[in-house]
């Protein structure tokens, strides 16, 4: 049973303490009153899932991950943290759906190959303009 105890501001920021009674044992459980802390923990779960799915298909390089994220979001991202919470959830849902269909690896490779071809074409175009 949880019972609200005291508000403490000296334990890693504002925290409400709850007494947790489990038989003869008494424990204090802290719940942060800072919404940023709660949101950061929630966001971390989504990020961990996204990285796990990308790791499954050997997309471990930061640059490759950004290419995949840019394609899935349709936005030019400079960093993975530029994803909004909504975009992050949508990316994870998309990656999960591709995984369930058994198409995750093929789709990620297709995205990376398309980006590599586009970069090569852009390089050739620049070189021809310089000549």
Closest to 86 in 3D by CA, of 74, 78, 98, 97: 74
Closest to 96 in 3D by CA, of 45, 43, 52: 52
Whether 46 contacts 88, CB under 8 Å: yes
* Candidate from 2-11, 28-37, 99-108, 121-130 with smallest mean pLDDT: 2-11
The pLDDT tens digits of the residues spanning 59-96 come to 999 999 999 999 999 999 998 888 988 999 999 999 99
The pLDDT tens digits of the residues spanning 35-55 come to 555 567 778 889 999 999 999
Task: List the chain domain ranges.
Answer: 2-33, 37-130
Average pLDDT over residues 11-39: 49
Residue 13 has pLDDT above 50, yes or no: no
């Amino acid at each position: 049973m949880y019972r609200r105890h005291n508000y403490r501001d000296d334990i890693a920021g504002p925290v409400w303490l709850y007494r947790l009674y489990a038989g003869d044992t008494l424990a204090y459980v802290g719940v942060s009153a800072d919404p940023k802390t709660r949101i950061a923990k929630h966001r971390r779960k989504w990020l961990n899932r996204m990285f796990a799915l990308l790791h499954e298909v050997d997309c471990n390089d930061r640059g490759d991950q950004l290419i995949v994220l840019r394609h899935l979001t349709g936005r030019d991202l400079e960093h993975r943290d530029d994803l909004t919470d909504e975009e992050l959830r949508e990316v994870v849902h998309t990656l999960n759906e591709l995984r369930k269909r058994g198409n995750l690896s093929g789709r990620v490779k297709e995205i990376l190959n398309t980006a590599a071809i586009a970069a090569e074409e852009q390089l050739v175009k620049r070189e021809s303009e310089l000549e």
